[in-house]
Each structure stands twice: as C-alpha cells, then as structure tokens.
C-alpha cells in the first residue's frame, strides 16, 4: 500500500472516542459487522493507546489508526500500540517525521494554502480538512484543489448522512471522516452509509 494515501477501499473513516478500554471490542465489532472496517481512535482519552492495541490484536483485518495526535510522544505511543496511520487536527512536522520513519500514513489537518504547501514540502499529499463545516465545506475544498491538483482531502467536521454523497462525488476527496455513524445503532448507521456509497 502506498503510505502517502488511504487505501482505495476506505471511503469513510469513523472517528472513534473510546473512554473505557472494555468498550473497544464491541465498538469495533459493530463497525466491522456494519461493513466499515476502519477506525481512527482518538487520543482525546487516556486509554487511547490501549484501545488501539486491543483493536489491532482482535481485528487484524480492520484499518485502525490514531487520531488527535498532536505531538511526538503521542505519535510514538500510537505506533507502539500498532496504529496503521496517524491523524492530527493540525500539521506537526515532528509527527510527520515520526510517521515517515515508521512508513505509516500521516494525515495532518490543513485548512489554508500555507498549511497545504507545508504538507507538500513534507511529502504529504493527502490532508485532513478540519473542521470542514467551519472552513467553508465542499466549496472551500474545490477552491483549494485548483492550485493543488496533487492533493487529496479528508473532510471531517460537518459531514453527515445528508451531504456524504455530495462530498464523496468530488474527485479531490479521498474519503470523509467523522463521528456521525457512532451515534445510535452503529451497525445500522454503517449499513446506511454503504447504501449511500452504492
């Protein structure tokens, strides 16, 4: 797999917040059984590394990575736990370097031309666009893609069932991220997403 981009099969990347380690297996099982075998487990909670470790061990076919990685220490923790990719709300040169050395995908948050240029300078061609709804949504992504045709975007924040198809129909969007499928019945939500993706 090219470590500079998401696997082609991943079009929706669930943002998963695990507050108790014992929630890890049922949560990831619901995603996998619902048909979305991917999870960005966020470092917003103290048990994130443990949740990633559990997920990687029990769901070897899932694409499991770490989100909200904001410094080198978290990046190292995530990789030691087995994370397949790293995601940040902003751009961190130190996290980018750790990911590069480990050969894993790094998706930094970039919302301005300057940040995108910095990412390109670090060899990154897929960036997270967050929070998408605050920074202009699909219109902003289309505008940014004109001067940066080599860049693909992962919009997160404000993506939901109503606009999912519209985002994914845009050629410069690699996938969408979000927690909208984590509310309520996860399996049912995932199946609903798969219907939209058809």
Tens digits of per-residue pLDDT, 25-80? 999 999 999 999 999 999 999 999 999 999 999 999 999 999 999 999 999 999 99
Q: Residue 60 has what DSSP assignment? A: T
Q: Give the homologous superfamily in CATH for domain 12-197.
A: Aldolase class I (3.20.20.70)
Cα dihedral: 104, 126, 109, 147 (round 10): 150
DSSP for residue 88: -
Q: What is the mean pLDDT of residues 133-157?
A: 97
Catalytically active residues are 40, 128
Cα Rg of the chain, angstroms: 16
Indicate the pLDDT class of residue 3, thresholds 50, 70 and 90.
Answer: low
């Amino acid at each position: 797999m090219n470590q500079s981009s998401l696997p082609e099969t991943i079009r929706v990347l669930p943002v998963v917040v695990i507050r108790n380690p014992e929630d890890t297996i049922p949560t990831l099982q619901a995603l996998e059984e619902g048909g979305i075998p991917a999870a960005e487990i966020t470092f917003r909670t103290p048990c994130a590394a443990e949740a990633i470790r559990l997920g990687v061990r029990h769901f070897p076919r899932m694409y499991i990575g770490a989100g909200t990685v904001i410094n080198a220490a978290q990046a190292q923790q995530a990789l030691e736990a087995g994370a397949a990719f790293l995601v940040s709300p902003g751009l961190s040169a130190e996290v980018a370097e750790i990911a590069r050395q480990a050969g894993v995908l790094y998706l930094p948050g970039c919302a301005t031309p300057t940040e995108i240029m910095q990412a390109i300078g670090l060899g990154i061609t897929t960036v997270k666009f967050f929070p998408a709804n605050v920074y202009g949504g699909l219109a902003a992504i289309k505008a940014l893609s004109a001067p940066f045709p080599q860049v693909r975007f992962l919009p997160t924040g404000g993506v939901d069932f109503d606009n999912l198809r519209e985002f994914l129909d845009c050629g410069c969007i690699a996938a969408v991220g979000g927690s909208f499928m984590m509310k309520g019945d996860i399996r049912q939500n995932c199946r609903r997403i798969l219907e939209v993706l058809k």
